[in-house]
């Protein structure tokens, strides 16, 4: 069959497509939709603020009306009707100010044609200003709001009026409305705030009249000291005010919206269930929608004939995730008989029988990684609270030598242990974690790319240890990264052999651990057992010769180094089968899977099917009724169905199950459930062959 090179982007193999999702995504509001939220409200608020500011500051006059009368006209006793009775109001000026025609030819022409009127330059309302000359008093400025002193007292302007005289000032801006541009010579004269270049109503060459003195004085004063009125806040200022108000309203609306959008968090569970809890399904209303099947992390439920059924009740963890996800309440959790095989703990996860001994994680009987993290953190917070309550707190950072006693020793660095050591490190406790393998060993053994589900709860808490809906590799990487970054005191390859209760100063417990350097003793005031349910791997009954020590493995972390090698895998459980499949996938590897059992007894159907298929294809050798009889120079002696066979292998994987951690607890005196006698633990039976 002809083979073709990929010529463009590689297309992904379909077999690597993601499995069907197990969690339905919830609609989220994107920034596109919320971007302009609150803009209308904010704009309306801003506009209202501008209007309110203007009206509040200057009354309605600031917006629409021209303002109050200038003091001159007010003193003359004018009212609205005096001028506005005539139409247009501008013609009313002539009734008092007769003979004040313009003397400039250009202006006169415009005046006669009607384009220029009195009101074009002067207005009796507030906008104009005038200089007031009062006999025997200094000159003042009169504006719409009243008469005020000159900013700089002026002396010697040389005019003593005989009666009160008002000299109106025309703002240059009024002139500039027509005289603009560089080609207009009149515009060149318009320097300053007020027009003071020439007397409009006096032709050049006319003989001076009495008013000229007033005018001349005004001219000198204006040039010297009168400045334009300090403008009250014009519309621009109110715009700024309105803008600020709009921004505040906008921010307020957004913050209110953000608070509404938060999803209420579920409280984490700390104590394991005390009674056996199993789901019960009402088959008359069950839709067969797979919501409960997808929610269950342990594959307890299945859908058969479009109705959910309980397929593996033994694996049920008793937490009500399935009940929460059922859309119409067909599934409810029923409580049954009290559970007898969980350790007896109080509310702070301490054993009431053994003070100072805490348990956290799977070993307490409470499932789910998130709960384990919470439990580990909780234990440390309890210890912290106790330490604060004590009068004499031991000094921090005391020597960590063997002779000293630790505040806390954590046994195990799975989610519970890691969470505990992280919190202890942050709190400054003198603590250490003893791990028999490497950090997060239990999670590493999950199937490749297994989806770790997020089961709700407060996402803020323990953020450094949690990822939402990730693959197992991501979670392991995050934990390793956290352990390294925080320099957590985790001692790997330290397998705790036993815990004894002692009385030695502060230390209440003595732990004996097997380390690569030999055996060591640790002393601690408190001990947290975060052992999980996996326990320690079972060993071969045979003694292993020195030459084989480094070639016997109890777990498979990475199959790639075994390419091209001959490997023997002992065991027939899920971990043994998965390891054999992973090794067989390596190019050039020869894999033999041997087990004591005569046939497949347990494990996932998918694994069994894969192993059988590979065996049929010849990529894997399957041996039943086999056990290791001894070790040779370059191989292993197997006893297969009574006959001895030499198998040339370079590595041996012993995956025959685990020893459950009950011995620790029982030896220490921890009771189970509420029963005083210790019954034979059901969990001590191991998996595998």
Partner 1 sequence: MFRAPVLRGLDERGRLDVQSSGRLFELAAGEILFEPGDPSDALFVVLRGQVELWSVARGDEAASLIRVVTQDCTFGEEAVVTGLRRSARAVCAAPARVAEVPLGVLSRSLTRAGATSLFDREVRALERALTRSLLTTLSFGRYLDQADLDLLLDAVHTRSYAAGQFLQRQGDAPEHCLLLQKGLVQIQSEQAGRVRVHGYLSGGDFFGDEEILAGEALRYSVVAMGDTLCIHADAQVMRRLCDSNVGLAKRLRRLTLGRRAEPTTELSAATHQTQHVLRDAYRMQMARSLLAIDQESCVRCGHCAWACAESHSGVSRLIRSGDKIVVAEAGAFANLLLPNTCQHCEHPACMIDCPTGAIGRDAEGEVFIREQLCTGCGACAKACPWHNIQLAPRANLARAETPSVKLSALVAVKCDLCRDYEAPACVRSCPTDAIQRLDPRQEFSEVRALFQHAPVNVPVPASGTAGTARASKRARAPLALSALVVLVTLAVVGQAAPRGAFALGAGVVAGVGSLVLASHALLKRRIALWLRPREKRGLQRGDARPATGSVLSPWVRAHQALGLVTLAAALWHSGLVWPVGASGALLATILASALSGGFGALAYRWVPPRLSRLEWRGALPEELGRERRDLIDRLYRLTSGRDVLLKRVTELILGPYSRSPWASLCLLASGRDLKQERARLRRSIDERLEGRGQERLLVLDDLIKVVVDLRALPLRRGLTAALRLWQPVHAGLTLALVVLLALHVIGRLG
Using CB under 8 A as the binding rule, the residues of this chain from 585 to 644 that contact partner 1 are 585-587, 613, 617, 619
Residue 308 contacts residue 302 (beta carbons within 8 Å): yes
DSSP 620-641: EEEESSEEEEEE-SSSEEEEET
**Which residue among 185, 260, 305, 390 contacts partner 1 (CB under 8 A)?**
305
Of the pair 4, 390, the CB lying nearest partner 1 is at 4
Across 297-330, the runs of DSSP E, i.e. the strands, are 301-304, 307-310
Residue 375 contacts residue 366 (beta carbons within 8 Å): yes
Residue 433 contacts residue 493 (beta carbons within 8 Å): no
Does position 557 bind partner 1 by CB under 8 A? no
* Residues 38 to 77 in contact with partner 1, rule: CB under 8 A: 39, 43, 46-47, 50, 63-66
Tokens describing residue 446: 């999950």
Q: To the nearest whole angstrom, how small is the minimum distance from the Cβ of residue 218 to partner 1?
A: 23
* Residues 466 to 495 in contact with partner 1, rule: CB under 8 A: 474, 477-478, 480-481
- Phi, psi torsion values for 316, nearest 5 degrees: -70, 135
Q: To the nearest whole angstrom, how small is the minimum distance from the Cβ of residue 384 to partner 1?
A: 30
Give the interface segment with partner 1, choosing from 80-88, 176-184, 365-373, 655-663 (CB under 8 A): 176-184
CA atoms within 13 A of residue 101's CA, in its CB half-sphere: 12
Of the pair 14, 230, the CB lying nearest partner 1 is at 14
CA distances from 301 to 294, 602, 651 (A): 9, 18, 39
CA distances from 187 to 176, 221, 224, 416 (A): 7, 22, 21, 86
**Which residue among 288, 356, 632, 681 contacts partner 1 (CB under 8 A)?**
288
**Which residue among 236, 314, 541, 599 contacts partner 1 (CB under 8 A)?**
236
Give the interface segment with partner 1, choosing from 348-356, 411-419, 566-574, 579-587 (CB under 8 A): 579-587
**Which residue among 168, 242, 279, 343 contacts partner 1 (CB under 8 A)?**
242
**Which residue among 56, 244, 258, 306 contacts partner 1 (CB under 8 A)?**
306
**Which residue among 231, 264, 598, 642 contacts partner 1 (CB under 8 A)?**
231
Does position 158 bind partner 1 by CB under 8 A? no
Of the pair 52, 510, the CB lying nearest partner 1 is at 52
Helix (H), strand (E) at residue 522: strand 518-529
Total site size for partner 1, rule CB under 8 A: 80
Residue 539 contacts residue 686 (beta carbons within 8 Å): no
Helix (H), strand (E) at residue 176: helix 172-176
**Which residue among 104, 145, 176, 512 contacts partner 1 (CB under 8 A)?**
176
Does position 135 bind partner 1 by CB under 8 A? no
Q: To the nearest whole angstrom, how small is the minimum distance from the Cβ of residue 182 to partner 1?
A: 9
**Which residue among 7, 163, 550, 643 contacts partner 1 (CB under 8 A)?**
7
Name every residue whose Cβ is closer than 8 Å to that of residue 689 and which is 6 or more positions away in sequence.
Answer: 570, 571, 572, 573, 576, 595, 596, 597, 656, 657
Does position 10 bind partner 1 by CB under 8 A? yes
CA distances from 649 to 40, 551, 616, 635 (A): 77, 10, 21, 5
Does position 684 bind partner 1 by CB under 8 A? no
Q: To the nearest whole angstrom, how small is the minimum distance from the Cβ of residue 63 to partner 1?
A: 7
Does position 113 bind partner 1 by CB under 8 A? no
Of the pair 176, 551, the CB lying nearest partner 1 is at 176
**Which residue among 59, 138, 235, 498 contacts partner 1 (CB under 8 A)?**
235
Name every residue whose Cβ is closer than 8 Å to that of residue 161 and which is 6 or more positions away in sequence.
Answer: 133, 134, 135, 214
Single out the residue of 302, 316, 309, 311 nearest to residue 283, CA to CA: 309
Does position 163 bind partner 1 by CB under 8 A? no
Of the pair 125, 596, the CB lying nearest partner 1 is at 125
Single out the residue of 484, 479, 501, 384 nearest to residue 431, CA to CA: 384
* Residues 243 to 282 in contact with partner 1, rule: CB under 8 A: 243, 246
Q: Could you tell me how far CA 520 lies from the centroid of its own chain?
A: 43
Does position 457 bind partner 1 by CB under 8 A? no
Does position 23 bind partner 1 by CB under 8 A? yes
Give the interface segment with partner 1, choosing from 33-41, 428-436, 574-582, 637-645 (CB under 8 A): 33-41
Q: To the nearest whole angstrom, how small is the minimum distance from the Cβ of residue 243 to partner 1?
A: 7
**Which residue among 31, 87, 162, 401 contacts partner 1 (CB under 8 A)?**
31
Of the pair 8, 136, the CB lying nearest partner 1 is at 8
Name every residue whose Cβ is closer than 8 Å to that of residue 16 and which is 6 or more positions away in sequence.
Answer: none
Q: Could you tell me which residues are beta bridge partners of residue 148?
A: 141
Q: Cα(242)–Cα(262) distance, rounded to whole angstroms? A: 31
Does position 503 bind partner 1 by CB under 8 A? no
Tokens describing residue 269: 């569970």
Scan for tokens 């859309």, then name that residue. 327
| Per-residue contact string for residues 321-350; x = within reach of partner 1 by CB under 8 A | ----x-xx----------------------
């Amino acid at each position: 069959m002809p083979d073709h090179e990929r010529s463009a982007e590689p297309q992904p193999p379909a077999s690597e497509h993601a499995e069907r999702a197990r969690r339905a995504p919830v609609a989220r509001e994107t920034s596109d939709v919320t971007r302009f939220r609150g803009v209308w409200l904010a704009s309306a608020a801003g506009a209202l603020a501008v209007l309110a500011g203007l009206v509040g500051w200057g009354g309605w006059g600031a917006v629409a009306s021209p303002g109050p009368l200038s003091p001159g006209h007010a003193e003359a006793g004018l009212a609205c009707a005096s001028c506005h009775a005539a139409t247009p109001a501008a013609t009313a000026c002539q009734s008092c100010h007769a003979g004040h025609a313009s003397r400039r030819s250009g202006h006169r022409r415009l005046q006669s044609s009607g384009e220029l009127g009195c009101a074009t330059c002067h207005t009796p309302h507030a906008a104009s200003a005038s200089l007031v000359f009062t006999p025997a008093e200094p000159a003042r400025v009169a504006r719409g709001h009243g008469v005020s002193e000159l900013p700089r007292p002026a002396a010697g302007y040389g005019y003593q009026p005989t009666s009160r005289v008002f000299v109106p000032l025309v703002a240059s801006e009024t002139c500039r409305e027509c005289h603009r541009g560089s080609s207009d010579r009149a515009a060149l004269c318009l320097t300053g705030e007020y027009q003071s270049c020439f007397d409009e109503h006096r032709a050049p060459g006319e003989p001076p009249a009495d008013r000229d003195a007033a005018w001349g004085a005004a001219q000198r004063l204006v040039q010297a000291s009168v400045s334009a009125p300090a403008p009250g806040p014009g519309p621009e200022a109110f715009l700024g005010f309105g803008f600020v108000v709009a921004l505040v309203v906008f921010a307020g609306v957004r913050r209110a919206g953000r608070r509404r959008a938060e999803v209420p968090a579920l409280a984490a569970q700390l104590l394991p269930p005390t009674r056996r809890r199993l789901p019960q399904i009402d088959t008359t209303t069950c839709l067969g929608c797979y919501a409960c099947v997808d929610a269950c992390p342990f594959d307890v439920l299945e859908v058969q004939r479009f109705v959910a059924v309980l397929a593996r009740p033994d694996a049920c963890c008793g937490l009500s995730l399935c009940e929460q996800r059922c859309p119409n309440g067909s599934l409810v959790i029923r409580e049954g008989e009290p559970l007898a095989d969980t350790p007896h703990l109080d509310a702070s996860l301490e054993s009431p029988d053994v003070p100072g001994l805490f348990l956290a994680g799977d070993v307490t009987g409470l499932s789910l990684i998130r709960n384990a993290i919470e439990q580990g953190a909780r234990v440390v917070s309890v210890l912290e609270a106790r330490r604060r309550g004590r009068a004499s707190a031991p000094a921090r950072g005391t020597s960590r030598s063997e002779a000293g006693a630790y505040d806390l020793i954590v046994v195990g660095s799975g989610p519970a242990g890691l969470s505990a050591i992280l919190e202890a490190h942050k709190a400054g406790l003198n603590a250490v974690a003893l791990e028999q393998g490497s950090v997060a060993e239990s999670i590493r053994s999950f199937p490749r790319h297994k989806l770790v589900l997020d089961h709700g709860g407060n996402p803020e808490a323990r953020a450094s240890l949690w990822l939402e809906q990730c693959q197992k590799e991501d979670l392991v990487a995050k934990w390793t990264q956290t352990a390294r970054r925080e320099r957590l005191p985790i001692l790997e390859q330290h397998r705790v052999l036993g815990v004894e209760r002692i009385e030695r100063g502060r230390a209440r417990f003595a732990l004996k651990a097997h380390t690569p350097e030999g055996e060591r003793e640790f002393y601690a005031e408190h001990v947290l057992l975060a052992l999980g349910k996996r326990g320690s791997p079972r060993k071969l009954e045979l003694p292993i010769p020195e030459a084989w020590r480094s070639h016997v493995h109890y777990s498979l972390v990475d199959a790639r180094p075994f390419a091209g090698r001959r490997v023997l895998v002992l065991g027939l459980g899920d971990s043994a089968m998965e390891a054999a499949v992973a090794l067989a996938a390596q190019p050039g590897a020869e894999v033999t899977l041997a087990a004591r059992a005569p046939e497949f007894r347990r494990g996932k159907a998918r694994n069994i099917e894969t192993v059988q298929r590979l065996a049929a294809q010849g990529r894997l050798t399957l041996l039943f009724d086999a056990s290791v009889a001894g070790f040779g120079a370059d191989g292993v002696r197997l006893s297969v169905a009574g006959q001895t066979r030499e198998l040339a292998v370079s590595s041996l994987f012993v995956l025959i199950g685990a020893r459950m951690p009950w011995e620790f607890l029982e030896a220490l005196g921890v009771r189970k459930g509420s029963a005083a006698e210790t019954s034979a633990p059901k969990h001590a039976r191991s998996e595998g062959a």
